[in-house]
Amino acid sequence: GNSVTQMEGPVTLSEEAFLTINCTYTATGYPSLFWYVQYPGEGLQLLLKATKADDKGSNKGFEATYRKETTSFHLEKGSVQVSDSAVYFCALSDNAGNMLTFGGGTRLMVKP
Amino acid sequence: NAGVTQTPKFQVLKTGQSMTLQCAQDMNHNSMYWYRQDPGMGLRLIYYSASEGTTDKGEVPNGYNVSRLNKREFSLRLESAAPSQTSVYFCASSAAGGLNTGELFFGEGSRLTVL
């Protein structure tokens, strides 16, 4: 079945540092890939997505590129802020688009 | 702009007790979902309802039942709670067209503790 593997956290960075959170996946067919973010005390919300190979999703300074050859969808941001502190989840859709499979989540802590 | 609303937000149960988590969405979405979130394991799908009148099992359905009461409401029932069901539960919804292009909208979560 489908699965998503993320780097374990927490990831602790200073403000304005470069961020990479690794995500690799196993899936049949051609899934869509997503990054969701969960701020403290809230539900998850979509951060960005990519629906086919080589697509780049971007939002709020975050980017991720759908790499089919390496089955990866790494999240990057050039300069993190304290307000980016949250838990980040990588996810993929099944072929029918009926459900998402999530990774274990990576907690990011940004210090001023 | 309520979005997805879950009740209750917190609940403590004793082993063997039953309870129902309620979820309602006001976005006219066709599909609704129940996930549980456990430390280090991300979110795991319990049940989903692709449309009104249908429900399907997800990854971890054992010990749970669901009811899609109408297009707006999707409830999750624990008939005989066990400590292994201590978790944070999230309800989510999505519009028609599938998740390949759409997105999930989540409620704020319900924290359940089973003693």
B16 part of contact set with chain A, CB < 8 Å:
no
Residue numbers in B near A33 (CB within 8 A): none
Is B102's pLDDT higher than 90? no
**Residue B25: its pLDDT value, please?**
96
**Residue B95: its pLDDT value, please?**
86
The stretch B76-99 carries a mean pLDDT of 90
Put simply, the answer to whether A93 touches B50 (Cβ < 8 Å) is: no
Maximum C-alpha span of chain A: 43
Read off the pLDDT of residues A35-68 as tens digits, 9 standing for 90 and up: 999 998 888 999 999 998 999 999 999 999 999 9
- Measured between CB atoms, which of A36, A51, A102 is closest to B100? A51
Chain A nearest CA to B101, separation (Å) = 7
Average pLDDT score, chain B: 92
Contacts of A79 (CB under 8 A, 6+ apart): A16, A17, A18, A61
Residue numbers in A near B109 (CB within 8 A): 42-43
DSSP state of B63: T
B59 to A3, B78, B108: CA distances (angstroms): 12, 16, 21
**Residue A97: its pLDDT value, please?**
75
The stretch B11-25 carries a mean pLDDT of 97
Residue numbers in B near A104 (CB within 8 A): 40-42
B69 vs A18, more confident: A18
B74 part of contact set with chain A, CB < 8 Å:
no
Read off the pLDDT of residues A2-20 as tens digits, 9 standing for 90 and up: 899 998 889 999 999 999 9
DSSP string, B21-51: EEEEESS--SEEEEEEEETTTEEEEEEEESS
**Residue B99: its pLDDT value, please?**
67
Is A93's pLDDT higher than 70? yes
A29 part of contact set with chain B, CB < 8 Å:
no
**Residue A77: its pLDDT value, please?**
98
- Residue from A6, A8, A35, A44 whose CB has the most chain B CBs within 10 Å, to mutate: A44
A49 part of contact set with chain B, CB < 8 Å:
yes
Cα angle at B69 between B8 and B91, to 5 degrees? 40
**Residue B61: its pLDDT value, please?**
97
CA B29, distance to chain mean position in Å, is 15
The stretch B34-44 carries a mean pLDDT of 88
Is B96's pLDDT higher than 80? no
Which chain A residue shows the shortest CA-CA distance from B108? Answer: A43
Q: Are strands B19-25 and B4-7 parallel, antiparallel or unpaired?
A: antiparallel
Put simply, the answer to whether B103 touches A49 (Cβ < 8 Å) is: yes
Residue A95 confidence class, pLDDT cut points 50, 70, 90: confident
**Residue B26, both tokens:** 């006001």
Measured CA to CA, the distance from residue A93 to residue A101 in angstroms comes to 6
Is B1's pLDDT higher than 70? no
Is B78's pLDDT higher than 90? yes
Residue numbers in A near B56 (CB within 8 A): 98
Cα angle at B18 between B37 and B94, to 5 degrees? 40
Average pLDDT score, chain A: 93
Q: In 3-state terms, what secondary structure has residue B7?
A: strand
CA-closest candidate to residue B85, choices B18, B7, B26, B6: B18
**Residue B34, both tokens:** 């129940």
**Residue B100: its pLDDT value, please?**
65
